[in-house]
Structure 1
Amino acid sequence: MSDDFVLAEQHEGVAIVTLNRPERRNGLSAGLCHALHARLTEIAASETQVLILRGAGRDFCVGADLSAAAVSESGEAPPARASKAYDIPLLLHTMPQVTIASIDGGCAGAGLGWAAACDMRFASDRAKFATGFIKVGAAGDMGLVWSLMRVVGAARARELLFFSQKFGSAEALQWGLVTRVFEAGELAGATLDAAQTLARFAPQALRALKTNVLSAEELAMRPYTEIETARHLHLAAGTTMREGFASFRAKRADGSKTET
């Protein structure tokens, strides 16, 4: 069943979504795309604070499954050409939850598009990346060109897109595509620890910060600061900031380490 292509679990405000076609290196198929869109839509409407996207087995996602086996799933050519499949990067980027791609092994093509759409990317030391599209006669999908230009910059994105050379986690870290690299055996636990740290922050503040990040991508400084100020004052009028300030003062008073 298509639901088996995407697994989900909850850990104290954190949803872990796992692409589950390890025998095909989590390559995209109609069933996987449909199941992932449905699961992300469900989580976006929930009270979950953080989403981790990862792959089962030794790979994150190597892009579209181009084998004949992918066609036989439902009689459709892979991946699904319904618009819902192509909404997945938009969901990952704009959903109210903070989204983290946890990347082990291969991450290429559409899979890299999904990872790049997330708020953050953590990788294992054996992760391998490639844009891939030009080598199969494609020009890109799953929002990769849009995301990559913003994540690594225009010049680096062009190099990676046009030449499509493979690169590892060390280069990905140097170029800013990923922000943390762990040994393969530590990636899952370290990503969950980071996600749970985020999930312990005040929900209203975390979601407002995510919204601020999205607004900052789209607006000039003047309209952005007007919106940012309105959100700040809205939080200040409620209990979120008062409780945060009180907790900070209490920690400082008892000598606990505090960060600003």
Structure 2
Amino acid sequence: MAEILFEVNNGIAFITLNRPDKLNAFNRSMALLMQEKLHACNNSDIRCVYITGAGKGFCAGQDLEEVLDHNGPGMNRILKEQFNPIITLIQQLEKPVVAAVNGVAAGAGANIALACDIVVANEQASFIQAFSKIGLIPDSGGTYFLPRLIGYQKAMALMMLGDKVSATEAVNMGMIYKAFPTGDFENAAKQFVQQLANMPTQALAYIKQALQASMHQNLNQQLELEDVLQQKAAATNDFKEGVNAFIQKRTPIFTGN
């Protein structure tokens, strides 16, 4: 059984974490396969990436049985070779990456979701910074993304206490974008990601680049970057299509170019 399912349909790359009997916890082979599939998403025919989990959970993080295995990669390799490249690839993809959190997202699983550009969740899903429960610190970018999303105080408390955060609470504190009703979750999430895939892909990539830069630049630097990226966006065919559609009072048909 493939530990990562991968399918491309209507411009969307669907990546499904597929160890449902382990709540999709990562082992080494699964992490390396995830990296391979994220690399494949650089294809220009793919305009949006959708990451979800098989079964009842999104991802329980690292498979602890592998950590205890004397023949396994060991903690000194798990982050550097397995999780950190996943986070970097998600951030570097020049297209929207959506985490569709269908169930519990714990530990590195929660932080892989938060590394995505937009997170939507089943209203019965939950997010847990579970690391302190076993004497570890949050990894996989958690200490970077979470305080930027919800603020220092809340992030500190959630990481120290390992509290479970419901999808509704996550929406209210700004951790994720939206929670969908359980019965309609998959359909609503896929409609949402199709909407993104139909939008001007290069402009969305420039938005992603600008927001990432805003985390460490001052205002003048950010204004200069906006100018550079706006000129690039204005040179695309989708900009021309968007303007013509606006003038002609019709729905634009964007091609991603």
Same topology, TM > 0.5: yes
The Cα shift of 1:208 comes to 1.9
**Selected match of 2:72 from 72, 76, 79:** 76
Deviation at 1:235, TM superposition (A): 2.8
Residues 227/69 of structure 1: CA separation in 2 closer, same or farther (3 Å cut): closer
Partner of 2:187: 189
Question: Residue deviations 1:1-22, cap 9 Å, x none?
Answer: 7xx1101111211111000000
Does 2:251 match 1:246?
A: no
TM-score, normalising length: structure 2: 0.89
Letter in 1 for 2:48: V
State the partner residue of 1:137: 135
Partners of 2:201 and 2:164 lie apart in 1 by 38
How many Å apart are 1:46 and its aligned residue? 4.0
Q: What is the match of residue 255 of structure 2?
A: none
What amino acid does structure 1 have at the position aligned with 2:41?
I
Distance in 2 (alpha carbons) for counterparts of 1:18 and 1:243? 33
CA contact (8 A) 2:67 2:73 kept: no
Farther-moved stretch of structure 1 (236-245 vs 9-18): 236-245
Code of the aligned partner of 2:104: G
Distance apart, 1:151 and its partner CA: 1.3
- Which residue of structure 2 lines up, in the alignment, with residue 232 of structure 1? 230
Conservation of the 8 A alpha-carbon contact between 2:25 and 2:62: yes
| Residues 135-179 of structure 1 deviation map (CA, whole Å, 9 limit, x = unaligned) | 111112111111111111111101100111112112111111122
What is the letter of the counterpart of residue 181 of structure 2? E
The percent of aligned pairs where both chains have the same amino acid is: 28
The separation in 2 between residues aligned to 1:17 and 1:70, in whole angstroms, is: 28
User: Contact between 1:101 and 1:122, CA under 8 Å: does it hold in 2?
Assistant: yes
Partner of 1:76, secondary structure, is: coil
Q: Residues of 1 paired with 2:40 and 2:160: CA distance? A: 36
Which residue number corresponds to residue 54 of structure 1? 52
Kindly tell me the number of residue pairs found equivalent between the two proteins: 249
Question: Helix, strand or coil: the match of 1:218?
Answer: coil
Determine whether 1:218 maps to 2:213: no
Distance across 1 between alignment mates of 2:216 and 2:13: 27
1:111 matches 2:84: no
Structure 1 gap segments, 5+ residues each: none
Aligned residue for 2:241, secondary structure, equals helix
- Residue 17 (str. 1) matches residue 15 (str. 2): yes
Structure 2 CA distance, aligned partners of 1:42 and 1:180? 27
1:214 shift after superposition: 1.8
Letter in 1 for 2:22: R
Q: What does 1:102-181 correspond to in 2, within 5 Å?
A: 102-181=100-179
Structure 2 residue ranges without an equivalent (≥5): 252-257
Structure 1-normalised TM-score? 0.88
**Superposed CA offset, 1:182-230 (max 9, x none):** 1223222211111111111122222222222222223111111112112
d(CA) in 2 for partners of 1:215, 1:88: 20
Confirm or deny: 8 A CA contact 2:94 2:202 kept in the other structure. no
107-116 or 237-246: bigger deviation: 237-246
What is the distance in 2 between the residues matched to 1:146 and 1:10?
30
Displacement of 1:238 after TM fit? 4.5
Partner SS state of residue 78, structure 2: coil
Structure 1 residue 68 displacement after superposition = 6.5
Q: Distance in 2 between matches of 1:70 and 1:214?
A: 36
| Contact kept? 2:96, 2:117, Cα under 8 Å | yes
Letter in 2 for 1:152: I
